[in-house]
Amino acid sequence: MLAVFASGNGSNFEALAGAGRSGALGGTIAALFSDRPDSRACECARALGIETVCPPVGRFRTRIEDERTWLDALHARRVGCVLLAGFMRRIHATLLDAFPERILNIHPSLLPAFPGLDAIARAFDHGARVTGCTVHLVDAGLDQGAIVAQAAIEVREGDTLEALEARMHEAEHALYPSAVRRFLTEPWRREGRRLVFESRAGEKHRA
């Protein structure tokens, strides 16, 4: 069972849920977990008939004060893998230790460039000619975990931030479900920082 954590708009959650429905995710989404019961992500989950779970977050803005309440809710739903999709709180030891190499995130840059907040705008303002999105394992560092998949996006002459953001979201919605499927269904191993799939890269999108 999979859980998606989202805080905001929920477009990546929708893409994951759509892939889940059509059997293209390699797993079933048991619930959407959110720190924002009023978010569009929660509205989407309700509209899709996916359980919405909003455990307490406590006093802090950038973390969950007591992750054990979230962990209990995950265990109660037999969740084996967590997908962060625009979840704007850092994950700490209680959840990381309970799900070693089982928490994924999508980030709107080609990591290790532009970790953290406002990554699309920072790449644009920096004058990057190529940016993109990254699906990676979550560890204790900020957007530091092993890279599972990336997609590149060209920054065009005359591009606007809005146009780049739109192409970024489109790329994310394609990349995240396919990366999750590959991660869940193909054997892989770690070689230092690298996450290495046993099958050849060219075979990844054939399924």
Which residues are identified as catalytic?
A: 107
Binding mask 62-101 for ligand GAR (x = CB under 6 A): -----------------------xx---------------
Q: Which residues contact 64 (CB under 8 A, 6 or more apart)?
A: 35, 55, 57, 58, 70, 89, 91, 92, 95
Please give the structure tokens belonging to residue 64. Answer: 């969950």
* 108 is an interface residue for ligand GAR by CB under 6 A: yes
Least Cβ distance, residue 200 to ligand GAR (angstroms)? 27
Query: For ligand GAR, which residue of 4, 5, 11, 182 counts as binding (CB under 6 A)?
Result: 11
Q: Which CB sits closer to ligand GAR, 6 or 180?
A: 6
Which residues make Cβ contacts (< 8 Å) with residue 66, sequence separation at least 6? 56, 58
Q: Which residues contact 146 (CB under 8 A, 6 or more apart)?
A: 101, 136, 137, 139, 190, 193, 194, 195
- Contact between 12 and ligand GAR by CB under 6 A: the answer reads yes
Which range, of 1-9, 28-36, 55-63, 122-130, touches ligand GAR by CB under 6 A?
A: 1-9
Exposed / middle / buried, residue 205 (Cβ in 10 Å: 0-12, 13-18, 19+): exposed
Which pair of structure tokens corresponds to residue 42?
């929660």
Q: By C-beta, is 35 or 172 nearer to ligand GAR?
A: 172
Among 72, 75, 53, 61, which residue's Cα sits nearest to residue 4? 53
Helix axes of 119-126 and 161-185: crossing angle, nearest 10 degrees: 120
Torsional sign, CA 73, 24, 6, 175: positive
Binding segment (CB under 6 A) for ligand GAR, from list 21-29, 66-74, 106-114, 146-154: 106-114
Residue 55 is a binding residue for ligand GAR (CB under 6 A)? no
Nearer to ligand GAR, 37 or 207 (CB): 37
Is residue 34 a contact point for ligand GAR (CB under 6 A)?
no
Of 55, 83, 95, 172, the one binding ligand GAR (CB under 6 A) is 172
18 binds ligand GAR (CB under 6 A): no
Q: Which helix (H) or strand (E) holds 3?
A: strand 2-5
User: Rule CB under 6 A: is residue 8 a binding residue for ligand GAR?
Assistant: yes
- Which residues here bind ligand GAR, judged by CB under 6 A? 6, 8-12, 85-86, 106-108, 119, 172
